[in-house]
Structure 1
Amino acid sequence: MENQSEMVFVLQGLNDSLTNRQIYFTFALMSYLLTIFVNLTLIVIVCLEKSLHEPIYIFLCNLCFNGICGASSFYPKLLHDLLADSHVITYTGCLSQIFVVYCYVFCEFTSLTVMAYDRYLAICKPLQYRTLMTAQRVAQLLLLTWSFSLLESMVGTTLTARLPLCGRHIPKIFCTNWEVVKLSCSDTIVNNIYGYVLMFSHISQTILIVVSYTHLVRASLQLHSDRRKFVQTCLPHLVTLLVFTGSLVFDIMYSRYSAGSTLQKLQNALAAEFLVVPPLINPIIYGINLHQIRSRIIHNFTHKPETQGAHS
């Protein structure tokens, strides 16, 4: 298609939601602001509190930062479309959104894998933990997480960008790689092969997480102290992993097996769940379950100056 860079995609996901656009806009705006607030709150608390400068909390900050990136790849465009009469996005804008969403997904999954490895060392090898999980190792794992995620995203987006397109209607409220690939009028076998490579890569990460948790559960059943540590740090991680994986599966099922335009609102909710739920839920889960973070949050929001505290 000539001048493909000047192409404009039409997002059709909001077609059935225009009658209640003010309600949806208010809900989306509040959800976005709350997501930014809870993630930034946790990041700031960890950064300011020296006692929280531990690997698990640093990895948690990285998870929260990635959550902000993921939410910011989705909400601003949605908020704009809820107030606009036409729901369009440029070719460049669509590829940019695909890249950021891609990166968010890969970074989230890799971060959760790294956190599972950290918990394995902390509980199963406590005497060697300080030696194995040094500041240098933490920096290397963070660099690996982002390098791996950016590389995967760059390759995937580049493979999609090379495809000539014969359509411009996307039946969703945001751009995704699979929806753009389906608009191609040429062979997409390379994209499909790369998809299988990514699937194999993340299945390998899943196996690593399963192996880690097998050891963690075994260790927690043996010692009461390990059981307490498992409940405090590993249980929130497990819930986070299940929420993110479930949300992502909903999106994949929607993209590949959606039944036309029926139940459009439900499909929109399921398709966007992996960009909405994990970034909002992750810091709340950890903030509630991790005693050190919970106590700092309570202290910061209930602390009064000494002059006022003297009267209480």
Structure 2
Amino acid sequence: MAAGVANFTFLRIDTYIHVGALKYLCFMMTAVLYSVIVLINTSLIVVICVNRSLHEPMYMFLCSLFVNELYGSTGLFPFLLLQILSDIHTVSASACFLQIYCLYTYANIEFCTLAVMSYDRYLAICCPLQYNTRMTFNKALIFIAVLWFYCFVKFMITLFLNIRLTLCGNIIHSLYCRNYLVVKLACSDTRVNNFYGIFGTVLTVVVPLLPILFSYMKIFQVCFSGSKQTRQKAVSTCTPHLASLLNFTFGCFFEIFQSRFDTGGMPSMLRIILSLYFLIIQPLLNPVMYGLQMSKIRNTCKHVLCYKLLAGRRDQMQMC
């Protein structure tokens, strides 16, 4: 079966959870979840872009993170909503490869952005006097442009290698397209795909991991040898980043575990949670963590909300 004309039959979501009657309830819950993710991430992007006081490197990295959450969520949720309502549960090969590209670039951009943010926190805590010269607004934009370009190009090669495969199967036991499961369906030579897959995995993990380890080693050294004020600053600025980093790492581990090992003995609901964890929890966690923790963002949101409320009351009074 040629890859260009193949259809991949997906395991039905209602079969996955063994409750077919709840199809429309699942659709409504998923739609509400997607709407919340879009709303909170878009709101924070607008707040950062509109407010000039937030045009600093740290907030530009956050803006990149929130844009990536929208990108990854859009790669999953519309497809998932269609699959919930569909009775056929098939997807064309081109749409499947496109989803793989979106979700894998999302994961890589997320990890790379968190790595750059760890370096930014290292400069702010360990080199505060040099921070404004070593991490400028323009340098932050260059960092963001390079990491997005790097991630898109790296997975473009993976996409090209997958498209050239001849597939002899058409069933993927998953709620969405996964690269490893598609390659397993191939009956042509996959040695190049496997080699580049290992090489790409090393790049995906090692390249972001090195600056993260270096940055936090330096930050911990300063914390242990510095003053109480320095430790408090490190805790307040690094807590959201560490929480986001650990959550994303666990989510990726769950996804890899699901793809590589047989999880048929697990409860159906647990398998669903593990497969969707890093695609749902991360876009919800980051805006909440950073929106609540960063005082500038929190105060700006309060100011905008209060301004709208006052403007609404003023309009009502004028109408009366």
TM class by shorter chain equals over 0.9
* Aligned pair partner of 2:287 in 283, 287, 300: 283
Secondary structure of the residue aligned to 2:16 is coil
Q: What is the match of residue 209 of structure 2?
A: 206
> Offset at 1:158?
1.2
Q: What is the match of residue 109 of structure 1?
A: 111
**Separation of aligned partners in 2, 1:117 and 1:36:** 28
> Offset at 1:301?
2.4
TM-score, normalized by length of structure 1? 0.94
CA contact (8 A) 1:13 1:264 kept: no
* Aligned pair partner of 1:305 in 300, 305, 310: 310
**Separation of aligned partners in 2, 1:107 and 1:248:** 13
Q: What is the match of residue 38 of structure 1?
A: 40
* Aligned pair partner of 1:253 in 237, 242, 257: 257
> Offset at 1:31?
0.7
Q: Which moved more, 1:254-263 or 1:239-248?
A: 254-263
CA contact (8 A) 1:13 1:171 kept: no
Q: Which runs of 5+ in 2 are unaligned?
A: none
Q: Which moved more, 1:53-62 or 1:150-159?
A: 150-159
**Separation of aligned partners in 2, 1:141 and 1:307:** 40
Q: Aligned Cα RMSD in Å? A: 1.9
Q: Which moved more, 1:194-203 or 1:110-119?
A: 194-203
Q: What is the match of residue 220 of structure 1?
A: 223
> Offset at 1:54?
0.5
Please show how residues 58-77 of structure 1 align to structure 2 within 5 Å.
58-77=60-79
CA-to-aligned-CA distance 1:244-270 (integer Å, 9 cap, x gap): 111011010011113337523321221
CA contact (8 A) 1:247 1:273 kept: yes
- Evaluate the alpha carbon distance shift between residue 305 and residue 259 of structure 1 in structure 2; reply closer, same or farther with a 3 A threshold: closer
**Separation of aligned partners in 2, 1:87 and 1:231:** 47
> Offset at 1:72?
0.5
CA-to-aligned-CA distance 1:45-86 (integer Å, 9 cap, x gap): 111111111100000000000000000000001111111112
**Separation of aligned partners in 2, 1:24 and 1:233:** 37
CA contact (8 A) 2:65 2:110 kept: yes
Counterpart amino acid of residue 310 in structure 2: P
**Separation of aligned partners in 2, 1:277 and 1:59:** 19
CA-to-aligned-CA distance 1:243-302 (integer Å, 9 cap, x gap): 111101101001111333752332122111111110111111000111111111222223
Percent same amino acid among aligned pairs?
Answer: 35
- Evaluate the alpha carbon distance shift between residue 185 and residue 306 of structure 1 in structure 2; reply closer, same or farther with a 3 A threshold: closer
Q: What is the match of residue 132 of structure 1?
A: 134
